[in-house]
């Protein structure tokens, strides 16, 4: 039961950025609990461009006062922190709590980032927090009481694409606050960091309304309240994530690591042989400071020499090392040169002695004397002298150690500029070359002081932790370009550390003992995940460091959360890492998944940390949901919806049967069958059948569609009835299979049956069945044969395709809003999985004919504008297929199959094209009141005929079972045979109107290499060899236009691999009376 209400009577709380969002919620809360509140807000926009309301802070003040509270407004920029604190002292005589909340966003990809984007973020987030804390510190020390909250984010903790500046700043605040916690403890100044996710002016630009509604700032306030209350006497230096009723604590976790003898045999090759020890977290440490390197060195020296191993080879690589004139940098330079690299040695002092050492070794090197902040000059030396840059080791640094109380602004800025801004500048200069080469290796240098904080190093800790945040974000941007970014926290005796280490330790901790792990990071040989990692090393030891997160507490979102409730579960849940629920988040999605997962947690079920109602029996709920019957949801569509869907799959204007309702063969593509189910109301709720459900954690894994009635109407009212098929427990996730039967309302006939398989992350572990039942075709996974595909269809997607497809019903902002896509962990909006499904289904249909069912597994994402390759294998009545992204070679759809109707020999009805044939090729005997039947025949049969007479040309399906006039030019070509070379059959100098339609005007340049066969009125030979070399003119439709028209007959097929450009054997079999005017046939020789 919650205890006595927490209050701040007589205390003064300063909140920066309090005009809206979280800051406003903090201010109003503390005002309601007796505190005097200084409401600081500059009134600018969330982008920091100065636009905004200057009355925001005053409005919050008036709201507090109307409720009976005490508050004053302050409009200063946070870099003028002394003025903000002065407002508190002048108005209320003291300051007790400082909440550094002010922030802005300047999201932009690293390649497009300008120095202004970087500097403004650092100014507001880091410098502003430093200036406010620095101004408040003397008062805290004097009164021996203070509480500080710094605001980080998931972007800072894990790195976020397009936010290298923001990620760096937010993690810099972690190192800064950890140091303040250590310095302030003896003065009862407790300092903690919060990583909130809450609706604000910033997040409103990147999250949809339905998510923002559950991310009210009210969910974060109670955690901050507990941390800042005087009853908190022990919790300091902590890092907490909070939002939507979820609260958890994070701490660092260090692996056991690999320990080798620290002598000349400690090489990169020797360390690679023991790499598994580096990744071994079976007996981890949870440190608040560096490893015991003296003890490690003593143990290392007792080990035998390290066995010889195959060493790294850097021949042909150009490496740039900042701060390379001494210490660690010198060791890196010499060892890189030893292993074959060409080295650019940068140092603010003289780099030339190291350059000469390398040259004496027989290596290549140049020196660049300048600050690392002059990154353009450093990188230019590599390009000017060696034409490229492959490796960048950001090692330059300085120390300006001083207790926070005695630190001045110059000391803080100097360290931030050299370490963090210097790392940014050098990397920014190298980035365009890395992108162009599609290769780069970046090693950034942090410190245990940055990771864990260290007394007297608030500036250094902020800069070094900021470097880690920068590197993690950059790793996400660089990965797809083969640019890997990793971070090292070295322990070595150098000129810099000589100012803080005893002389004997400086001599013992040789820089050489750090080099092996750094060179492995600079190579192509690092095992496991190649980018975004953090290692610590020294004294012959190397280990990996990562986050550990407690299972935390999950509070129901339909019950107001209070600080008193949070306090009751603090030790048992929030700060408990030993209850078996802790995990290791390593990306922004993992960082926020528990927050998102808690959005469905209500007082009626789920994990209610504030009640004792017991756990939900999800297995029972699943069985009850299976029995539930849907009422059925109507879905009405017409020709417009059909056309919109077809266009959403990339159909072209020339494919009239898909985009023109007046076309004779206008039809809907069969994969349209997935659309009605998505608006249907299910008779159960996902939040009732799996724990921790959140839409944000849901992944569409598989889709099965069965077409139960042909033809599919182009307009109708349907009724879709969903039901639950099964739910399986995959440990960390739940797998839910939902079925849906769709009927024609008018006839009651079943038209479609769907099964959708979704994986819901964070919703497993409820004790359900591990494996699902065999459901025949719906659950089958198809393995492609071990041969080249029988057919491959390439489909370029338009950059605007997702914007069109979403209008068919799936309006998830993930597919259209770049900012929301970033929140989802994607670099840019991605194509709907069911759009790729539809494109593949279209390829199967147009290649092999109609199918009665189709099943796919979604294997990867597609970016609109990429090209999809549908690879198909025909195995009897089954078409096995998969879809690859041409640009990346990665699978978008795997394990897919479609079962053909009657083996693919489905009958189609041809439009009455005889009315369109020009000149004297019309068959006057045909009954035009009846359509001409077309039957799909053997794959070796060609698909259409080009018929020419004089200057006229017409196109007919080769399947038409009619005799053609003798005196026409008869040429056969397989659709797609000349697709890759853009060629078409024609006669010399041909100019004609296609099918009698003036809008289809073809103008061909003179064809000189064509051979015309079977001209005249008599053909005595039954077989002729025809070699085709044709050239399409500069004007007209071109080959894509021809194919677009021919698709009306459902006869376009790809040429078999390897048959391009081969001769055709043309056969004119005899007619019934023995003449040569029988039906035309053709086959590949």
Cα–Cα distance measured from residue 699 to residue 950, given in angstroms and rounded to the nearest whole number: 60
Backbone phi, psi, residue 347, to 5°: -160, 145
Which tokens go with 787? 């041969």
Tell me the torsion sign for CA atoms 415, 417, 418, 419: positive
Rounded to 5°, angle at Cα 241 from 236 and 246: 120
Distances (CA, A) of 207 to 166, 269, 352, 477, 752: 17, 47, 53, 21, 34
Q: What is the pLDDT of residue 941?
A: 31
Mean pLDDT of 406-424: 95
Q: What is the pLDDT of residue 980?
A: 23
Q: What is the pLDDT of residue 826?
A: 77
CATH number of 12-252+550-600: 3.40.50.720
Quick: pLDDT tens for 522-580. 999 999 999 999 999 998 999 999 999 999 999 988 888 999 999 999 999 999 999 99
Cα–Cα distance measured from residue 119 to residue 1040, given in angstroms and rounded to the nearest whole number: 51
Cα–Cα distance measured from residue 1007 to residue 986, given in angstroms and rounded to the nearest whole number: 8
Question: Residues of 232-241 as b/e, b for ≥16 C-beta within 10 angstroms?
Answer: beebbbbbbb
Q: What is the pLDDT of residue 973?
A: 32
Taking the mean position of all CA atoms in its chain, how far away is CA 721?
34
Burial class (CB in 10 A: 0-12, 13-18, 19+), 731: exposed
Q: What is the pLDDT of residue 1084?
A: 29
Instruction: Flag whether pLDDT at 921 surpasses 60.
Output: no
Q: What is the pLDDT of residue 493?
A: 52
At which residue do the structure tokens 């407790």 appear? Answer: 190
Q: What is the pLDDT of residue 906?
A: 34
Quick: pLDDT tens for 272-306. 999 999 999 999 999 999 999 888 988 988 999 99
Instruction: Flag whether pLDDT at 669 surpasses 70.
Output: yes
Cα–Cα distance measured from residue 582 to residue 577, given in angstroms and rounded to the nearest whole number: 6
Report the range of poorest mean pLDDT among 213-227, 809-823, 831-845, 1060-1074.
1060-1074
Report the range of poorest mean pLDDT among 165-174, 752-761, 954-963.
954-963
Instruction: Flag whether pLDDT at 831 surpasses 90.
Output: yes
Q: What is the pLDDT of residue 1023?
A: 27
Non-local (6+) Cβ contacts of 601 within 8 A are 245, 554, 555, 556, 557, 607, 608, 692
Q: What is the pLDDT of residue 248?
A: 95
Q: How far apart are the first and last CA of the chain?
A: 87
Quick: pLDDT tens for 863-903. 999 999 999 999 999 999 999 999 999 999 999 999 998 76
Quick: pLDDT tens for 970-979. 232 322 222 2
- Mapping DSSP onto H, E and C, the string for 158-219 reads HCCCCCHHHHHHHHHHHHHHHHHHHHHHHHCEEEEEEEECCCCCCHHHCCCHHHHCCCCHHH
Q: What is the pLDDT of residue 617?
A: 84
In 3D space, the residue among 353, 348, 311, 306 whose CA is nearest the CA of residue 334 turns out to be 353
Quick: pLDDT tens for 504-518. 554 567 899 999 999
* Percent of the chain with pLDDT strictly greater than 90: 61
Taking the mean position of all CA atoms in its chain, how far away is CA 411?
39
Mean pLDDT of 778-804: 94
Distances (CA, A) of 385 to 366, 367, 380, 389, 905: 8, 11, 8, 10, 66
The CA-based dihedral angle spanning residues 664, 665, 666, 672, taken in that order and rounded to the nearest 10 degrees: 170
The CA-based dihedral angle spanning residues 44, 50, 54, 59, taken in that order and rounded to the nearest 10 degrees: -10
What is the number of other CB atoms lying within 10 angstroms of the CB of residue 501? 17
Instruction: Flag whether pLDDT at 89 surpasses 70.
Output: yes
Taking the mean position of all CA atoms in its chain, how far away is CA 46?
24
| Strands 246-254 vs 878-885: parallel, antiparallel or unpaired | unpaired
Mean pLDDT of 214-234: 93
Mean pLDDT of 195-217: 61
Cα–Cα distance measured from residue 972 to residue 10, given in angstroms and rounded to the nearest whole number: 94
In total, the chain counts a number of residues equal to 1085
Cα–Cα distance measured from residue 165 to residue 110, given in angstroms and rounded to the nearest whole number: 9
Q: What is the pLDDT of residue 492?
A: 73
DSSP code for 761 = E
Q: What is the pLDDT of residue 936?
A: 32
Contact 100, 128 (CB under 8 A): yes
Helix 422-437 crosses helix 375-386 at what angle (to 10 degrees)?
30
When comparing pLDDT for 111 and 358, which is higher? 358
Burial class (CB in 10 A: 0-12, 13-18, 19+), 256: middle
Q: What is the pLDDT of residue 602?
A: 76
Element (H, E) at 794: strand 791-796
Quick: pLDDT tens for 120-136. 999 999 999 999 999 99
Q: Following DSSP, what letter does each residue of 62-109 receive, concatenated? A: HHHHHTT-EEEEE---GGGHHHHHHHHHHHHS---EEEE---------
Given the candidates 3.40.50.10470, 3.40.50.460, 3.30.2270.10, 3.10.129.10, the CATH classification of the domain at 618-783+793-904 is 3.10.129.10
Mean pLDDT of 60-73: 96
Model confidence band, residue 763 (pLDDT cutoffs 50, 70, 90): confident
Cα–Cα distance measured from residue 850 to residue 902, given in angstroms and rounded to the nearest whole number: 9
Cα–Cα distance measured from residue 767 to residue 604, given in angstroms and rounded to the nearest whole number: 20
Instruction: Flag whether pLDDT at 1010 surpasses 50.
Output: no
| Strands 791-796 vs 867-875: parallel, antiparallel or unpaired | antiparallel
User: What SS3 class is residue 464?
Assistant: helix
Mean pLDDT of 136-148: 98
Which tokens go with 1072? 């019934």
Instruction: Flag whether pLDDT at 965 surpasses 70.
Output: no
Cα–Cα distance measured from residue 963 to residue 585, given in angstroms and rounded to the nearest whole number: 71
Instruction: Flag whether pLDDT at 183 surpasses 70.
Output: yes
Cα–Cα distance measured from residue 418 to residue 1010, given in angstroms and rounded to the nearest whole number: 71
Q: What is the pLDDT of residue 301?
A: 87
Model confidence band, residue 474 (pLDDT cutoffs 50, 70, 90): very high
Which tokens go with 356? 């000469």
Question: Residues of 536-545 as b/e, b for ≥16 C-beta within 10 angstroms?
Answer: bbbbbbbbbb
Helix 21-32 crosses helix 221-228 at what angle (to 10 degrees)?
50
The top-scoring range by mean pLDDT among 854-858, 989-993, 1023-1027 is 854-858
* Mean of pLDDT over the chain: 80
Which tokens go with 340? 């074959």
For the chain, what are the domain ranges?
12-252+550-600, 253-310+515-545, 618-783+793-904, 907-1085
**Residues with a known catalytic role:** 166, 170, 460
Quick: pLDDT tens for 716-746. 999 999 999 999 998 888 999 999 999 999 9
């Amino acid at each position: 039961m919650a205890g006595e209400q927490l209050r701040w009577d007589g205390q003064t709380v300063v909140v920066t950025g309090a005009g809206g969002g979280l800051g406003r919620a903090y201010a109003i809360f503390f005002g309601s609990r007796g505190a005097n509140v200084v409401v600081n807000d500059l009134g600018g926009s969330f982008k920091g461009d100065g636009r905004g309301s200057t009355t925001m802070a005053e409005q919050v003040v008036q709201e507090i006062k109307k409720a009976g509270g005490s508050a004053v407004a302050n409009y200063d920029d946070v870099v003028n922190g002394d003025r903000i604190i002065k407002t508190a002292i002048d108005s209320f005589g003291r300051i007790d709590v400082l909440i550094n909340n002010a922030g802005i966003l300047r999201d932009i990809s690293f390649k497009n980032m300008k120095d202004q984007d970087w500097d403004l973020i650092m100014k507001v987030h880091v410098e502003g927090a430093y200036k406010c804390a620095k101004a408040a510190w003397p008062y805290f020390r004097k009164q021996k009481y203070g509480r500080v909250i710094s605001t980080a984010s998931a972007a800072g903790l894990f790195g976020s694409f397009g936010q290298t500046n923001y990620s760096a700043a937010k993690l810099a605040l972690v190192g800064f606050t950890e140091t303040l916690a250590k310095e302030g403890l003896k003065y009862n100044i407790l300092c903690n960091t919060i990583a909130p996710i809450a609706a604000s002016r910033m997040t409103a630009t990147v999250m949809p309304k339905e998510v923002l509604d559950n991310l009210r700032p009210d969910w974060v306030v109670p955690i901050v309240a507990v941390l800042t209350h005087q009853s908190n006497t022990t919790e300091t230096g902590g890092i907490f994530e909070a939002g939507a009723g979820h609260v958890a604590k994070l701490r660092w976790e260090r692996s056991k690591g690999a320990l080798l003898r620290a002598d000349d045999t400690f090489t990169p090759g020797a360390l690679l042989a023991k790499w598994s020890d580096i990744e071994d977290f079976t007996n981890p440490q949870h440190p608040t400071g560096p490893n015991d390197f003296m003890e490690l060195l003593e143990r290392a020296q007792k080990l035998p020499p390290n066995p010889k191993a195959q060493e790294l080879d850097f021949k042909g690589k150009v490496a740039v090392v900042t701060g390379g004139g001494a210490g660690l940098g010198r060791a890196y330079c010499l060892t890189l040169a030893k292993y074959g690299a060409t080295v650019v040695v940068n140092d603010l002092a003289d780099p030339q002695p190291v350059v000469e050492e390398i040259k004496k070794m027989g290596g290549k090197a140049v020196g660049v004397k300048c600050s690392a902040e002059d990154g353009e000059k450093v990188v230019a030396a590599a390009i000017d002298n060696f034409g490229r840059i492959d490796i960048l080791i950001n090692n330059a640094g300085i120390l300006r150690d001083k207790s926070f109380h005695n630190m001045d602004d110059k000391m803080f800025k100097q360290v931030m500029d050299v370490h963090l801004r210097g790392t940014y500048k050098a990397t920014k200069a190298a980035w365009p070359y890395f992108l162009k080469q599609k290769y780069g290796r970046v090693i950034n240098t942090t410190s245990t002081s940055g990771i864990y904080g260290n007394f007297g190093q608030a500036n250094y800790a902020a800069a070094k932790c900021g470097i880690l945040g920068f590197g993690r974000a950059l790793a996400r941007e660089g990965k797809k370009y083969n640019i890997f970014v990793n971070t090292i926290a070295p322990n070595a005796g150098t000129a810099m550390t000589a100012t803080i280490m005893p002389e004997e330790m400086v001599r013992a901790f040789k820089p050489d003992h750090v080099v092996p792990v750094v060179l492995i990071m600079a190579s192509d040989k690092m095992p496991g995940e190649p980018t975004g990692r953090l290692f610590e090393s020294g004294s012959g030891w190397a280990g990996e460091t990562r986050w550990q997160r407690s299972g935390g507490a999950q509070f129901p979102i339909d019950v107001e959360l209070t600080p008193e409730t949070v306090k009751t579960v603090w030790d048992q849940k929030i700060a408990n890492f030993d209850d078996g629920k802790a995990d290791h988040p390593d990306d922004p999605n993992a960082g926020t998944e528990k927050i998102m997962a808690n959005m469905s947690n209500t007082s009626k079920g789920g994990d209610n940390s504030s009640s004792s109602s017991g756990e939900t029996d999800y297995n029972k709920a699943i069985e009850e949901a299976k029995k539930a019957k849907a009422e059925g949801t109507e879905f009405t569509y017409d020709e417009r919806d059909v056309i919109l869907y077809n266009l959403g799959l990339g159909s072209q204007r020339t494919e009239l049967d898909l985009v023109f309702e007046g076309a004779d063969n206008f039809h809907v593509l069969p994969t349209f069958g997935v659309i009605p189910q998505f608006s249907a109301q299910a008779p159960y709720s996902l939040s009732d059948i799996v724990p921790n459900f959140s839409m944000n954690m849901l992944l569409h894994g598989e889709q099965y569609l069965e077409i139960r009635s042909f033809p599919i109407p182009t307009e109708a009212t349907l009724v879709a009835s969903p039901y639950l098929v099964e739910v399986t427990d995959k440990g960390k996730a739940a797998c839910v299979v939902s079925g849906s039967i769709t009927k024609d309302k008018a006839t009651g006939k079943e038209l479609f049956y769907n099964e959708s398989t979704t994986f819901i992350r964070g919703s497993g572990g409820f004790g359900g069945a591990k494996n699902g039942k065999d459901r025949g075709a719906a659950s089958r996974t198809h393995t492609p044969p071990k041969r080249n595909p029988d057919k491959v269809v390439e489909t370029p997607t338009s950059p605007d395709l997702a914007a069109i497809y979403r209008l068919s019903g799936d309006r998830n902002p993930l597919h259209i809003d770049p900012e929301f896509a970033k929140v989802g962990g994607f670099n840019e909006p991605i194509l709907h999985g069911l759009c790729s499904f539809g494109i593949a289904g279209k390829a199967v249909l147009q290649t092999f004919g109609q199918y009665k069912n189709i099943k796919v597994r979604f294997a990867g994402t597609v970016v609109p504008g990429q090209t999809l390759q549908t690879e198909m294998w025909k195995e009897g009545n089954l078409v096995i297929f998969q879809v690859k992204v041409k640009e990346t070679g990665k699978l978008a759809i795997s394990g897919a199959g479609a079962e053909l109707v009657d083996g693919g020999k489905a009958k189609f009805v041809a439009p009455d094209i005889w009315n369109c044939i020009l000149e004297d090729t019309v068959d006057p005997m045909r009954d035009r009141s009846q359509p001409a039947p077309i039957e799909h025949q053997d794959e070796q049969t060609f698909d259409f005929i080009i018929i020419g007479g004089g200057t006229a040309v017409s196109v007919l399906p080769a399947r038409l079972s009619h005799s053609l006039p003798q005196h026409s030019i008869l040429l056969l070509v397989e659709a797609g045979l000349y697709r890759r070379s853009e060629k078409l059959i024609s006669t010399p100098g041909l100019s004609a109107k296609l099918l009698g339609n003036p809008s289809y005007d073809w103008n061909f340049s003179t064809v000189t290499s064509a051979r015309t066969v079977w001209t005249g009125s008599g053909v005595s030979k039954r077989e002729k060899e025809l070699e085709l070399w044709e050239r399409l003119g500069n004007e007209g439709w071109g080959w894509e236009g021809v194919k677009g028209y021919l698709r009306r007959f459902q006869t376009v097929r790809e040429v078999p691999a390897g048959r391009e450009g081969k001769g055709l054997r043309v056969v004119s079999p005899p007619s019934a009376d023995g003449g040569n005017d029988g039906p035309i046939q053709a086959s590949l020789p």
